[in-house]
């Protein structure tokens, strides 16, 4: 099994959930209204008067075979709206309950 951690501009919230559901991935956990700044470029998303946008983050655990499909779809989403900000990381799941 794999876990994918996705951090993204709040504007993507429904799109990310629909992307997962469209690929047959039902389960996920979302953290809303979190701050952050990308390591390469882009504006900070801090939820304050100077940088009013915020990020959300999502963690989903899925079968190994589905991870590349999700990542490919996320890459397409990011490429279409690169200025919004979207990052995703695939991690191994060694045990789950």
Q: What CATH number is associated with residue 86?
A: 3.30.70.120
* Domain count across the chain: 1
The residues pairing with 86 across neighbouring beta strands, listed in sequence order, are: 8
Q: Is residue 47 part of a domain?
A: yes
Q: Which of 2-6, 36-40, 54-58, 76-80 has the lowest mean pLDDT?
A: 36-40
Asked if 6 and 90 touch (Cβ cutoff 8 Å), the reply is no
Q: Record the tokens describing residue 68, joined without a space.
A: 């590349």
DSSP H stretches of helix in the chain: 13-22, 67-80
Q: Indicate yes or no: pTM above 0.75.
A: yes
Percentage with pLDDT > 70 across the chain: 92
Distance, CA of 73 to CA of 16 (rounded, Å): 9
Q: Is residue 59 part of a domain?
A: yes
DSSP conformation class of 36: B
What domain range includes position 28?
2-92
Q: Is residue 97 part of a domain?
A: no
Q: Which residue has the higher pLDDT, 62 or 48?
A: 62
């Amino acid at each position: 099994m794999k876990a994918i951690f996705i951090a993204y501009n709040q504007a993507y919230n429904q799109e990310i959930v629909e992307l997962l559901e469209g690929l047959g991935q039902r389960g996920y956990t979302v953290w809303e209204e979190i701050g952050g700044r990308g390591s390469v470029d882009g504006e900070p998303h801090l939820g304050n008067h100077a940088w009013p946008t915020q990020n959300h983050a999502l963690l989903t655990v899925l079968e190994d075979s589905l991870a590349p499909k999700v990542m490919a779809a996320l890459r397409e989403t990011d490429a279409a709206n690169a200025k919004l900000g979207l990052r995703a990381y695939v991690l191994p799941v060694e045990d789950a309950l």
